Amino acid sequence: EADIYQTPRYLVIGTGKKITLECSQTMGHDKMYWYQQDPGMELHLIHYSYGVNSTEKGDLSSESTVSRIRTEHFPLTLESARPSHTSQYLCASSTPTGAGRVAFFGQGTRLTVV
């Protein structure tokens, strides 16, 4: 059972508001990720981090930003939310296996911008 937590689970917010989605893991994993997923669709990597003070852009361009000040914490921020940001955001962390890396996911935050 993976120990990775996201808050809030659901968020409805007005256009123009600043929001921060929280993600924490207690497994000591060095690498963490944010994925964006529309209902029933594939996951798109928007940010990842190799460790403390490391942040990288993912494959899908996003107006969000991330920070990694502590190993266990990887928050995602939208400075000014827009309806186009409505989606599910999934946080993950990974650990190397003998073959490759396996990612463990949080429950997700479903964001609705009205």
> Is the CB of 59 or the CB of 79 nearer to another protein?
59
Token pair 């256009």 is found at 15
Stretch of 12-20, 36-44, 69-77, 78-86 contacting another protein, by CB under 8 A: 36-44
Report 59-98 residues binding another protein (CB under 8 A). Answer: 59, 90, 92, 94, 96-97
Report 40-59 residues binding another protein (CB under 8 A). Answer: 40-43, 45, 48, 50, 59
Residue partners of 50: CB distance under 8 A and separation at least 6: 30, 31, 56
Burial of 21 (0-12, 13-18, 19+ CB in 10 A): buried
Amino acid at 10: Y
Report how far residue 15's alpha carbon sits from residue 96's, in angstroms, rounded to the nearest whole number.
Answer: 39
> Is the CB of 9 or the CB of 82 nearer to another protein?
9
Report how far residue 104's alpha carbon sits from residue 31's, in angstroms, rounded to the nearest whole number.
Answer: 11
Q: Does 106 bind another protein (CB under 8 A)?
A: yes
Amino acid at 68: R
Q: Does 107 bind another protein (CB under 8 A)?
A: yes
Q: Does 12 bind another protein (CB under 8 A)?
A: no
Q: Catalog residues that contact another protein under the rule CB under 8 A.
A: 6, 31, 33, 35, 40-43, 45, 48, 50, 59, 90, 92, 94, 96-97, 99-108
